[in-house]
Structure 1
Amino acid sequence: MSMARASFGLAYPDRFYAAATYAGFGDSSPKVTSKFSNDVALLLYALHQQATVGPCNLPKPRGWSPVEQRKWTSWNGLGNMASSEAMRLFVKILEEEDPGWYSRVSDFIPVPVVDVEMNHNSKSELPTNNETTLPEMKTIPTENGHSVDKDVMVEVVGPVGVYDQWVAPSVSGTHPKPRYEHAAAVVDDKMYIFGGNHNGRYLNDLQTLDLRNWTWSKVEVKASSEDSVRVTPCAGHTLIPWEGNKLISVAGHSKDASEEVNVKAFDLLTCTWSTMKTYGKPPISRGGQSVTLVGTTLVIFGGQDGNRTLLNDLHILDLETMTWDEIETVGVSPSPRSDHAAAVHAERYLLIFGGGSHSSCFNDLHVLDLKTMEWSKPSQQGDIPSPRAGHAGVTIGESWFIVGGGDNKSGVSETVVLNMSTLSWSVVTTVQGRVPLASEGLSLVLSSYNGEDILVSFGGYNGKYNNEANLLKPSYKSTLQATRAGAPALDSVSGAQNAANGTRDVDLEFEAGQEAKFREISVENHEPQKNEVNEVSERSLAALKAEKEELEKALSNEKSQSDELKQELIEAETKNSDLYKELQSLRVQLAGEQSRCFKLEVDVAELRQKLKTMESLQKELEILQRQKAASEEAFAKQKQSSGGVWGWLAGTPPSPTDA
């Protein structure tokens, strides 16, 4: 599993001890278990010792025992690793080697029983006529003990008849596989779920829940076009709806991770995946990051790379030009983290809340001014949430709703809301028990039903993998209370404007009354100035129109230049591709020529060696020839002077004439 922190369910130490018992390390003197390969078993042993005993302070074994030597080496190699990190790694490795271990540990640990029975009947029938039948509801129990009658819910407003309470609808169709760290998005009243993590295995399926008839179905992905691709299973990614008929998947952990962040698009019309070509320098591959859509730009912050290094860098992707850009910021950035939540306020302020490192979770709030690119850490007001990571959030107007998450010990049961103008927190509701809403890695989307906003959560992990869908209709009451608290706003202008806004009903009444009063005062006291005001307004309007036309012309020129640059870039890339191919061909030819040259050099060396040998033989031959000539000459002289050889041998004295 690819997690920034330990997942929870039970208190995490309990989960570790259950895993240790299951793996065979539960006795007082753990041995290398035979359930796994030698290397895995030794690593589990070392992590168990690090978690339960601490760093290895024992001297290296002197006896010649290979097993004891390797056990000591594995344990000692962990250094000063924290006990909590050793526990997390122990459970992580166990889940990778034996994904189904947790379902087989009922003999080791008691599993709390949730009082609420979720109604998920996959065989429930849809209505045969054209009438819309509303799903039966069951209420998630809250801390204050309130409950809601399901008949009242159906009669009042359909799927959600009360405010600020989570309910579980009865849905039909085949439920998706339980998961967490998946991604979700809503397009045309359909919630799409993509990827995620299940029992340590990454997923790449695409499921959809029709929010009109509450029916699950699997999207059959096609591969008919040349540009279509098979998406690698992943988790910790982000899904963004775009252009009405596309889903953009950004980043995420996968087993075959690339070095850079990948951006893929799913076409809802053709049901095909494709890789989106980007320009510039993309960020390094990561998961657990936040991706926030601001206008036509994606703002990416933080996450964790493939080496488990936590990040706090900031990148943007312009979806019109598909160009990456790394942003240099001023001020104090948030500490490196993953599995945090992010939102944008007034199309200007990026808010980062919570997240986690390898050993701890955060509840800090950071704000980035996207105009000045300056970080700040404002003070929070109201019921400040506890530290958490793996939570999910959505915004409705000035309200930022946060659901779920965990702190390495337990799941977070509160659903909270932040007024982004006043930075004041309120608790919306609290769930009881180990329910999916108190999970890490769940998803949260915003939809509507009968003209009212509803929050839809799905999945998560809290000791078990979930595939539940739950709904909540916010009342905005906590937003009104936070606004009236008078806390400092992010921006004085937007804060003053938003301070006058409470709930939608109060807004309408207040604004209508103020407008009527303003008209009365204008008629009574400012009628003589009416013509002057109109003249000033007309001049201002004309100036604004002229400025707008100039800006539109400038924008048109910029777009034209951008298109020209795109075309030049495409031509340059094509030319570069041709040159690269030509270079490759020349490299092949050069390699061949180099090979031939090398062979010729070898042949020349051999010939030179032979030539040296021939020169040596020639010299020896000349010496022998001279010796032979000398010998023959001497022999001829002796023959003439001695009457022949036989006379010389007989000792005949030379004649006087010879003397």
Structure 2
Amino acid sequence: MAASLQQGSAANPCLLPFPDRYHAAHKFVKLQPQGAKELSQETQLALFSLSKQITEGPCNVPKPWSWNAVESTKWMAWNQLGNMSAVEAMRLYVRTLDEEQSDWYALLLAEEAKPHNQGAGASLIPAHAYAQTDVWTALPMGEQRKPCPRYEHSGGLVGTKVFIVGGNYAGRYLNDLWSFDTLSMTWQQLVPVPATRLSKANPPSATPFPADSNANGAATEPQVQTAPVLPVQPTVVPLAGHSVNVWGDKLVILGGHIKSKDANSPLPVRIYHTSCNAWEVVQASGTSPSPRGGHSSSLVGNKLYIFGGEDASRRALGDLHILDLPSMMWERTVGVAAGKPSKPQDIHLVKVEGTPPSPRSAHIATVVHDRYIVIFGGGSVTTCFSDVHILDTRSEGGRLRWIAAKVQGPKVSPRAGHTGALVGSTWYILGGGNNVNGCTDLLAIDLRGLSASPPALASPPTLQLWQLGAFPPRHALSSEGVTMVGIRNISKPPPASGPDPEMGMLLAFGGYNGKYQNAINVLRVPQDLPSTPSSVAPGAKATSSTPSKAPGAPAATDAKGAAQASNGMASPAVIKGSSPAAKDVSSPPAGKAGAAAAAPIASKPEAAKGPAGAAAPAAMGSLGGGVPAAPETPSKANQETEKQVQEQEKQVQEREKQAQEKEKQAQEKEKQALRKQLATVMAQLETAQKGMEDARAALGRESAKVLRLEGEAAESHKKLALAAEEHKELVALRRQVSEASNKPQGVRAYLGF
């Protein structure tokens, strides 16, 4: 790495483009290699404030207390920069370092060329520079220490660092905590200190320079150190299937499967403070949910909404719970019928209208407009799902409302254990499985149909879904239990308005597809979804063509392209030469979901050849992609339009009916499976009871035999006692006989002889 930069730039940083020149300067300040001058306090303060302006933008945090002179000085230096752009701050950062030490770049290259830095993994090129739009790229990690392979872990993005917590490796739950810096591309294992609960009597304290500053005290990243008050738990517990939500600079870790005596305790709430590397377990008040893993937790405002999961017995759950983070209090929910008043006993409960999703685990959820929680997929014991449900957290009357969304696009396989990341208004979904095969495609759902306006949704929204390609079956991303986050290139300033072109990188880590993974893969997503190549598997390049546009983009130039654009699918030219598994994306979906999608494509393109050449495309756009015949009279055109609208309504009703039938069949199938399991358990119980009765009968027979033997033994003892008495008498008689035989007889006895 250093050698290539040395040849390309001749040790001249002016030849290195931005933002790489800034990253190199920032790394020099952080490393302070041999030969580096000691930076003055003024220079350190200037570089610190510019780094804050680059990474976080203008100062929008409250001013620290005046008694804390160091923090107040840092705040004032940052605040004085005003609305300076990130690019201007980068240039000023490099110029300030050039004025302080002009040979800093040569010293950095020399430090990079040292043997102990070769293959260490640190890079002057940030992760976003490797991301491409048509292929997933595995980041080169070199020889640096990195996490072991895993799945069922979870993580979140704080600043420029991706934090990974726990996971499952070969059936062993992990208790480690890692961070990956997307700018320096380095892994770091974190060992949290005992956490503290701050109070007014123990306000945050700060050191003059952050704990990760260099030897000369140059401030590299802001870090507040809190004074220890009450240690709660010093280390991360081994867990998997948990959820992680980013709340400010904290990670809120909820639940998860654990292998300990606490597996049946109430749902634990754990918090990791990224600013001070501290870990704590919070005792939330209220009625805590049952322990679970594989659930989803969504942050709306300052409240976490927890849905589903599975308990310690691996039973799927379908309940909804709310945790208010500022007060750390659980709020209970109760289902109510729409439009009906609540019961008096439910006055302190959060009311939820609508039909909730079926009990499930290993699903994903995302938040749109800080209001809607969108849930996709998941599974239970026997069934996997591909449905989409929406929870409106700001429905009328202060109630929550469940809505079953409609999905337009190709039919996708049900899945569980997948992952998702929201980039702009597009939700990207990766990996997962369906109890039979792994899912090898990348999905994208357009969530622009959810309005941010206060009124509630009048009807179930229709969301557009794209199938963006497929991976080989054994590819690292064809896995379950992957963690994926969306990352913005913070080295470039955000736009004043409109879509952000730099908010477009996906970063995926870990997973299991028969082999445990620990690679990091990145992908730059395009702004127009249909222009995304159908195959984004590594090494599969797309051919050049004129792509279709996303909904809201200019209409296609021909009827066939317009029909494909209305269905949210790439044109056949885009996916030409892609892997076989990705070819189905361009064709109309089969089955119940494909009837409506195939209808506009089946229309005759010759109908577009009207006299003015514009009436047909306009009618096509108003009818959702169909191309009717050129109108002869206004009344006939209206009749044709009404007829097509009625046909589409019938198709929608038929799809809804088929979806309901499918859901009923799935529920019946699950009921049958449960009945079968219950019958098996009952048969086993009956067999066990019969065995117990046989054992009792055998025990009774053995007891009778023992009693009989005990009676016989008592009789034997009596006989032995009589025999002993008779033996004594016999001995006495023998003694008498012996004595009688030894006495003199006749005259001898008379004379005394």
Q: Name the TM-score, length of structure 1 as normaliser.
A: 0.49
Q: Name the TM-score, length of structure 2 as normaliser.
A: 0.43
**Of the two, which has the highest radius of gyration?**
1
Question: Whose relative contact order is higher, 1 or 2, with alpha carbons under 8 Å and at least 6 apart?
Answer: 1
